[in-house]
Amino acid sequence: MEKKSQHVEPKQEEKEEPQASICGYDSLHRLLHDNLSPHLYQEVSRVLSGYNCGKAVEAIGLPESATGLSSQHGFDFLGFRFNAEKELLREPRVVRVGLIQNSIALPTTAHFVDQKKAIFEKLKPIIDAAGSSGVNILCLQEAWMMPFAFCTREKRWCEFAEPVDGESTQFLRSFALKYNMVIISPILERDINHGEVMWNTAVVIGNHGNIIGKHRKNHIPRVGDFNESTYYMEGNTGHPVFETAFGKIAINICYGRHHPLNWLAFGLNGAEIVFNPSATVGELSEPMWSIEARNAAIANSYFVASINRVGTETFPNPFTSGDGKPAHADFGHFYGSSYVSAPDASCTPSLSRHRDGLLITDMDLNLCRQVKDKWGFRMTSRYELYAETLAHYVKPDFEPQVISDPLLHKKSS
């Protein structure tokens, strides 16, 4: 089954997501797998995706109940495992993580209530597949309960916002309870107690259906059509690590992945898995997508679980993009490609660039400390030095450490 789901013909998706036909292939790994000899594919994979405990990252078998839902509802479904070395004093701590990527369900012209309801309906079988696969921690994409309408700068989309305990949380807590599953739910938050301002927030729902806490997006983009700073400010929740029944987790929302200090701070607070729910488009960021999360996993000795939404969202009123080009109505192609990076520099193949998908990954969290012990990045980090550097840098009269060539303006002989 695994093989089959990993190498679906591209034609099928093009029907489902016609805007995406510019690059019709399903994922880089499938393309390379289908076009290289097994021997070459193996070596290319080693260099591109690393090795985990001396071997290519293993695909895992998935239960029929879940693969049935995948076939029936047409979502991509892959599963992998990261191993760690056996230890004498600790048992393996294997956590099963699920990531969901999805397109919206109705046109953005539909009534807002119907749009949200349709996304709920669309997600149900995918969450059921995760639950029936025994997923321990499930994460949805950024602002999963709405179209990514921030490109428009129109304030009417604020009506999608909800308080932390709003309808999306209520919808998900029943699944959390049913499947004994932690669920991370990134929403557009309306902060009732603080003048009804909005935040880009991840709600962490415990495996008993309780709300453990929330984290608000730390870095807000001002690039391309990402006009989010029109709607909400930089988060005020610090870099919390949530101690759940299945491990210590944190959430780095979307644009925060471009900021190594943001990744660092979650690591300093002890995260073993950092989720990066995102919404990002092809022309802007696709070549960065396979770099930043993996670098964060390597540099901070934790797992990173990256999710990107899927499809092209078209809005009722055309808008300009600050690039001098004519107004247009869509945000470009959200290229999916959700994947998981491990602290040992290995990573899973990605989900489809075009289709909804569920990625399941078993990870032995013992790998985090094993990599710390092996590579010693924490030990050799000289944080004192950089605490001083940053304290110095933020002063308005900061002057950079520059050594000028005294012969700079001498003419060459």
DSSP secondary structure code for residue 20 in this structure:
G
CB of 208 to a copy of itself, least distance (A): 5
Q: Give me the helix-helix angle, 28-35 and 38-49, nearest 10°.
A: 150
CB of 399 to a copy of itself, least distance (A): 9
Q: Residue 70, CB half-sphere, CA atoms under 13 Å: how many?
A: 28
Residue of 13, 17, 116, 142 marked catalytic: 142
Active site residue 86: no
291-298 contacts, C-beta under 8 A, 24 or more apart = 292/257, 292/258, 293/257, 293/339, 293/341, 294/341, 294/345, 294/347, 295/260, 296/252, 296/257, 296/260, 296/263, 296/341, 297/341, 297/342, 297/343, 297/345, 297/347, 298/341, 298/343, 298/345
CB of 319 to a copy of itself, least distance (A): 18
Residue of 139, 151, 162, 217 marked catalytic: 217
Residue of 139, 151, 254, 368 marked catalytic: 254
From 198, 200, 194, 239, select the one nearest 217 (Cα to Cα). 200
28, containing H or E segment = helix 28-35
Residue burial 237-265, b: 16+ Cβ < 10 Å; e: rest = eebbbbebebbbbbbbbbbbbeeeebbbb
Residues written for the chain: 413
Report whether 267 contacts 302 (CB < 8 A).
yes
Compare residues 8 and 44 and give the one whose CB is closer to a copy of itself. Answer: 44
Per DSSP, what are the bridge partners of residue 233?
none
Phi, psi of 187 (to 5 degrees): -130, 170
Compare residues 113 and 223 and give the one whose CB is closer to a copy of itself. Answer: 223
CB of 268 to a copy of itself, least distance (A): 5
Active site residue 17: no
CB of 57 to a copy of itself, least distance (A): 11
From 409, 365, 335, 400, select the one nearest 136 (Cα to Cα). 365
CB of 156 to a copy of itself, least distance (A): 26
DSSP sequence for 282-320:
HHHHHHHHHHHHHHHHHHHTSEEEEEE-EEEEEEEEEE-
Compare residues 147 and 247 and give the one whose CB is closer to a copy of itself. Answer: 247
124, containing H or E segment = helix 112-132
375, containing H or E segment = helix 366-375
CB of 383 to a copy of itself, least distance (A): 5
Active site residue 228: no
Compare residues 294 and 354 and give the one whose CB is closer to a copy of itself. Answer: 294
Alpha-carbon span 373 to 367, nearest angstrom:
10
Q: Which residues are catalytic?
A: 142, 217, 254
